[in-house]
Amino acid sequence: MTDLSPLPETSRAAAVQEIRTPGGLKAWLVEDYAVPLVAVQFAFRGGASQDAADKPGVVTLLGGLLDEGAGPYDSGAFHEAMDDLAVHLHFSVDRDHFAGHFQTLTRNLDPAFELMRLAVNEARLEQGPIDRVVSQLVASLKRELKDPDAVASRMFRAAAFPGHPYGRAARGEIDTLGKISRDDLLAMRGRMLARDNLVIAVVGAIDAATLAEKLDATFGALPERAALAPVPPAVMSGVGERLVADIDVPQATIRFGRPGVERDDPDFMAAVVVNHILGGGAFTARLFREVREKRGLAYSVYSHLQNYDRAALVVGATSTKNERAAESLAVIQEQIVDLAENGPTEEELAKARKFLIGSYALRFDTSTKIAGNLMQLQLEGRPAAYLDQRNRLVAAVGLDDARRAAKKLLGDGRLLVALAGRPTGM
């Protein structure tokens, strides 16, 4: 199904320099001098799935603490130094990754990279900042205790991945966050921040030689190998279940989903196309038309493919007034079953392909977005050439492929459904 013959468009891959530093680090660089900025996005494989079952939140807490004092600077002095240089530096954590986001003006290149080096290697992890960030996480979790969106997604996650790291609270629990010690954080940093699980993408006004030197200084002293706990593959469970959390609000927030298609499945791109037809981001998707435009059942309704390293899902969400929640779900269910059984029409398929091909360019319009995409491709194990292959893969999805992928993705159409609100007539 894969036709890799060139389409008449400019090569994105050609702009990517794959560099290897004298210290042995690999990175992708796009040199661009239009704006005097440099953006770096990097990620360590690992993420919140490395938390112990009885102590969730360690990785997230670590992510909140690397810029809270490092090397010669305490927390306040470190933030003053960042402000003096107008550096953007923060860390984020998802299920499978611990990521760093950095942006600087080129005139502050040297001292800005030095701050990043300190955060990555010499974060102090002092008790004062630990207590503060824990209290901030606890407050944010408390705010979400009875928030319909948060309640529905917690319920969905727990039912989808019981006993698996993906079923845990990535940001920890209100009761256990306070038990995380400095030693827990040091141990996690030692296990996760290493060179063999690191990917780096850089976009902006910097040449390869200068960058190589900066990257070796920033990451070269990290341990060579990470010591990650294996995360078992998981197939989402709970399909066919319908869970309701009672919250006194006029609207029911609905999450739904079922197992998806893995990234390395030959039908993955066809599944992307099928999902776009079902509930993708445009105002032309089936769910948008049937739920919102025709019936006025909801403001927001969508579906997307959720691909973790060790699990694949197709998930969606909407919010409908309690009295019409059952009707909304019925419409969604009907569309899913129809797409699974009959596949998309030739016209739907053609339009979806056009959209996905044309919209790829909009992912590459700011330096931080370009760097983020280059980081993501490396995490997925794709070559830079994929930047040019991707649209050909979309173009190659035929009607038979889409039908097969729709069956694989949507199967018998049964869903795990989690509702928060006071839906009636369910």
Partner 1 sequence: MTVSSAAAPQPAAAAGAQGAAHAGPHIAHSRLDNGMEVVVIPDHRAPVVTHMVWYRNGSADDPPLKSGIAHFLEHLMFKGTKTHPQGEFSQLVADLGGQENAFTGHDYTSYFQRVPREHLGAMMEYEADRMTNLVLTDEVVAPERDVVLEERRMRTDSDPGAELSEAVQAALFAHHPYGTPIIGWGHEIETLGREDALAYYQRFYTPENAILVVAGDVEPADVEKLARETYGKIDARGAPPVRRRPQEPPARARRHVSLSDEKVEQPTYERVYVVPSARTAEPGEAEALEVMTHLLGAGQTSRLYKQLVVEKPVAVAAGAYYMSSSLDATRLWIYGVPAADVSLDDFDAAIDRVIEDFLANPPGDREFERAKTRLVADAVYAQDSQVALARWYGAALAIGETIEDVSGWSARIEAVTPEAVVAVARKWLDKRRAVTGYLLPEQAA
Residues that bind partner 1 (CB under 8 A): 10, 32, 34-37, 39, 75-76, 79-80, 83-86, 88, 103, 105, 107, 128, 132, 135-136, 138-139, 142-143, 145-148, 247-251, 253, 282-284, 292-300, 319-321, 351, 354-362, 364-368, 421
Please, what is the minimum distance in Å from the beta carbon of residue 298 to partner 1? 5
| Comparison of 50 and 103: residue with beta carbon closer to partner 1 | 103
Cα–Cα distance measured from residue 376 to residue 362, given in angstroms and rounded to the nearest whole number: 16
Count of beta carbons in the 10 Å neighbourhood of residue 169: 18
Please, what is the minimum distance in Å from the beta carbon of residue 354 to partner 1? 5
| Comparison of 207 and 299: residue with beta carbon closer to partner 1 | 299
Secondary structure class of 176 (helix, strand, coil): coil
Please, what is the minimum distance in Å from the beta carbon of residue 103 to partner 1? 7
- Two structure tokens written together for 365: 């319009």
Indicate the angle between helix axes 127-143 and 58-65, nearest 10 degrees.
Answer: 120
DSSP state at residue 144: T
Cα–Cα distance measured from residue 183 to residue 108, given in angstroms and rounded to the nearest whole number: 34
97-105 vs 88-93, strand pairing mode = antiparallel
Ranges assigned E (strand) in 308-406: 312-321
Say how many Å lie between the first and final Cα of the chain, rounded.
Answer: 43
Report which residue type is found at 247. Answer: I
| Comparison of 22 and 128: residue with beta carbon closer to partner 1 | 128
Please, what is the minimum distance in Å from the beta carbon of residue 232 to partner 1? 34
Which ranges constitute the DSSP H helices of 53-99?
A: 58-65, 75-85
| Comparison of 128 and 162: residue with beta carbon closer to partner 1 | 128
| Comparison of 251 and 307: residue with beta carbon closer to partner 1 | 251
Please, what is the minimum distance in Å from the beta carbon of residue 81 to partner 1? 10
Please, what is the minimum distance in Å from the beta carbon of residue 167 to partner 1? 22
Please, what is the minimum distance in Å from the beta carbon of residue 216 to partner 1? 26
| Comparison of 79 and 263: residue with beta carbon closer to partner 1 | 79
Please, what is the minimum distance in Å from the beta carbon of residue 192 to partner 1? 25
Q: Is the dihedral of CA 119, 124, 125, 131 positive or negative?
A: negative
| Comparison of 109 and 312: residue with beta carbon closer to partner 1 | 109
| Comparison of 217 and 247: residue with beta carbon closer to partner 1 | 247
Question: Shortest CA distance to 63 belongs to which of 27, 94, 96, 25?
Answer: 94
Count of beta carbons in the 10 Å neighbourhood of residue 242: 15
- State which H helix or E strand residue 356 sits in: helix 346-359
- Two structure tokens written together for 71: 């090397």
| Comparison of 198 and 420: residue with beta carbon closer to partner 1 | 420
Please, what is the minimum distance in Å from the beta carbon of residue 87 to partner 1? 9
Burial (CB < 10 A; 0-12, 13-18, 19+), residue 200, is buried
| Comparison of 50 and 319: residue with beta carbon closer to partner 1 | 319
Please, what is the minimum distance in Å from the beta carbon of residue 315 to partner 1? 18
3-state secondary structure 289-310: HHHHHHCCCCCCEEEEEEECCC
Region of 240 (left: φ > 0; alpha: ψ -120 to 50; beta: rest) is left
Cα–Cα distance measured from residue 181 to residue 191, given in angstroms and rounded to the nearest whole number: 16
